[in-house]
Structure 1
Amino acid sequence: MTLPPTQDRAAGAILGAFIGDALGLGPHWYYDLDDLRRDYGDWITGYTTPKPGRYHEGMAAGQLSQAGLILKMLLQSIVECGEYDEADFCRRMDEELFPGLDGTPMFGPGGYTSQSIREAWRRRVKQGLSWSQSGSHADTTEAIERSLVLAVRYAFIPHRLADVIARNTRLTQSDELIVSLTVAYGAVLGLLVQGEKLDAHLSGKLMHLVKSGDLPFHAVTTGKLDVPRRDVAEPSHAGRFASPDALLTPSYIARAAADPDIRIEPAWKVSLVYGMPCAAYHVLPAAYYLAARFRDDFESAVLHAINGGGQNEARAMLTGALVGAQCGLSGIPSRFLVGLEDADELQRLARSLAAQLV
């Protein structure tokens, strides 16, 4: 069944994230690219089985990592509740995820448990702390990887989007810079679901939302980052996040991707330009670059994300959501759905959430 354009983009963002996650399962966290090419050849083209001794050993091609499973958990919660219900999501984490963890990295559903989830488990299970005390200072992208579904759900309500993403992020990550980067990614994705493109003009539209009070970023400049006027008082809504720079980054990177004098060839080497590690400040610029450069080419975007090595799973997951929102579910090649485990259920959930958009 053909979806209306907005719902097609919303479902595309969600399925794009699941596909990116599953693509990264086998070749995850190879920091020596010679080792990556030795194990998987010169170019990875689809889902692969993790090699013995690697992070997701024992899992099969096309399955989701723990990041994908948590994304699915939040997606199910929103679909069943009709909106974001934090208590319901936390209950699912307590009852469905945490009993399968033991606090060590190489254990748990999905084959590997990330730093922020291990710390949340320790605080909740071992220390008996409340969810308001469960966040740690991990600077990684786990919160972005799950809260992207909140960005889709509240794409047309930016102030609500910012609030729920910030609250959901703090469940596992308390660093305010990471919270601001996570909200900014969600705001970008929300505009793409609305039908905007990741281009040189997108940040200006995000800044308009800052000036109107819909996005809680501090900003004192005017127009195109011009000098503040002496006769205008600072906005009363300014200040939750220290600066709007996380909203400006996407368009600067999009301009670079479109500039003929700035070329990263082949595009997978974006991982070398922005860095292969797991921190959000490495992963996000690479995802923005690939999503801007290949905005209408889902396959190229996610495969270049995967073939760059390092934290390629998160890179592909975030890229997949951004490009999926631009090309829609209808623009994702069917072969990526055929090889994805439980693809029918994931599509049903994505379509159900897309139908909730207002």
Structure 2
Amino acid sequence: MSENRIKAAVIGAFVADALSLGAHWVYNTGVIDKKFGRVERYYDPLTSYHKGKKAGDFTHYGDQTLVLLESMNGGGFDAHRFADRWRTFFADYGGYFDQATKSTLANMDAGNGLTDSASDSDDLAGASRLAALVPAYHDNLEQLVSAARAQTRITHNNDRVLLSADFFARSVFAVLGGQPPQAAMQAILDAHFSDSSIAPLIAMGLKSRSRNTREAIAEFGQMCSVEAGLPGAVHLICRHADDFETALVENVMAGGDSSARGMMAGMVLGAAHGMEAIPAAWQTGMTASRRINALLDHL
């Protein structure tokens, strides 16, 4: 397992979020075509949800992933440390507050405790931060899965979101260990999730490999929920298993919540192909590029 591919798992998730920003939450794919053409570079956001953001910035999902990465502090994951940093970050945040964030903050303010205040949101985004854990736990599956579930539970205490974090943690670990992405996900489904509530969603994504991405994601749903986002992310990984760049471009072109599903795909495909597969302009064009690289060097 190379440091190159470990780093690429993290950078892959971040560039997926940054690439999504321009068309994030644009559900009409005709509008994406008209306003952007093919989204192969970073753009200012089209919608008012990300008012004040600029090309190369992150959505609120990427911003939270960076908070998680910073909370690792050269060591392992600590739920209280992450929750405290997460709460402090949102105290003066100028970006978008989704319902999961609002609910969690309200629960914290009501005195429910930093690690006992999560919303019941079923958004995949709670799990999609997990790439930040990979540098610390790339060699310990049990710890990676535990940390992935724990970081998710800070904001999303929902069984299917927690299961999604578990599934993708196992997937990126297997791919870092040399397994092809689709084979890894199929084996993980069979061994660990066959009787779970997310099994049909994983299977849908796996079976859709030969389909056009925009059509497949339109059928799954473009929404934020696990119901839509999980099969969409699995589809992207399988359909574009050999092409990191195309996977993330096609993800954005499919519209809707392209960030959450894209971050999962970027993480797994980054782990599969390494830094060489990630366009240099995407790496350097991130506003937080130097900050992220400094944190990764430290970790």
Query: TM-score higher than 0.5 here?
Result: yes
Q: Corresponding residue for 1:326? A: 272
Question: Quick one: structure 1 residues 315 and 91, their matched pair in 2 at CA, closer, same or farther if it must change by over 3 Å?
Answer: same
Q: What is the rounded CA distance, in whole Å, between the counterparts of 2:258 and 2:271 in structure 1? A: 19
Aligned length, in residue pairs: 299
* Residue 293 (1) aligns with residue 239 (2): yes
Q: What is the rounded CA distance, in whole Å, between the counterparts of 1:32 and 1:299 in structure 2? A: 22
Shift of 1:249: 5.7
Question: 5+ unaligned residues in a row in structure 2: which ranges?
Answer: none
Q: Corresponding residue for 2:43? A: 48
* Residue 98 (1) aligns with residue 82 (2): no
Q: What is the rounded CA distance, in whole Å, between the counterparts of 1:64 and 1:252 in structure 2? A: 29
Question: 5+ unaligned residues in a row in structure 1: which ranges?
Answer: 101-107, 211-216, 220-242, 258-262, 354-358
Q: What is the rounded CA distance, in whole Å, between the counterparts of 2:103 and 2:148 in structure 1? A: 19
| Aligned with residue 136 of structure 2, among 132, 136, 153 | 153
The 8 Å contact of residues 152 and 189 in structure 1, kept in 2 or not, is answered as no
The 8 Å contact of residues 8 and 275 in structure 2, kept in 1 or not, is answered as yes
Q: Corresponding residue for 1:63? A: 57
* Residue 18 (1) aligns with residue 30 (2): no
Q: What is the rounded CA distance, in whole Å, between the counterparts of 1:30 and 1:67 in structure 2? A: 16
Letter in 1 for 2:10: I
Per-residue CA deviation, residues 225-245 of structure 1 (Å, 9 max, x unaligned), is xxxxxxxxxxxxxxxxxx346
Shift of 1:130: 0.6
Larger radius of gyration: 1
Shift of 1:328: 0.9
Per-residue CA deviation, residues 114-152 of structure 1 (Å, 9 max, x unaligned), is 221111111112x12212431121000222121232255
SS in 2 for 1:341: coil
Q: What is the rounded CA distance, in whole Å, between the counterparts of 2:208 and 2:6 in structure 1? A: 26
Shift of 1:293: 2.1
| Larger helix percent | 2
Question: Where do residues 269-284 of structure 1 align in structure 2 (5 Å cutoff)?
Answer: 269-284=215-230
The 8 Å contact of residues 13 and 264 in structure 2, kept in 1 or not, is answered as yes
Q: What is the rounded CA distance, in whole Å, between the counterparts of 1:62 and 1:166 in structure 2? A: 29
Question: Where do residues 1-358 of structure 1 align in structure 2 (5 Å cutoff)?
Answer: 5-41=1-37, 43-51=38-46, 54-78=48-72, 80-95=73-88, 97-100=89-92, 108-109=93-94, 111-125=95-109, 127-151=110-134, 153-200=136-183, 202-204=185-187, 210=192, 243-244=195-196, 246=198, 250=202, 253-254=205-206, 256-257=208-209, 263-265=210-212, 267-353=213-299
The two structures have a TM-score, normalised by structure 1, of 0.76
Per-residue CA deviation, residues 6-43 of structure 1 (Å, 9 max, x unaligned), is 211111111011101111111111112222223223x1
Per-residue CA deviation, residues 264-309 of structure 1 (Å, 9 max, x unaligned), is 23x3333213111110121111111111222231110000000111
Identity of aligned residues (%): 25
Q: What is the rounded CA distance, in whole Å, between the counterparts of 2:30 and 2:135 in structure 1? A: 37
The 8 Å contact of residues 15 and 350 in structure 1, kept in 2 or not, is answered as no
Question: Quick one: structure 1 residues 205 and 82, their matched pair in 2 at CA, closer, same or farther if it must change by over 3 Å?
Answer: same
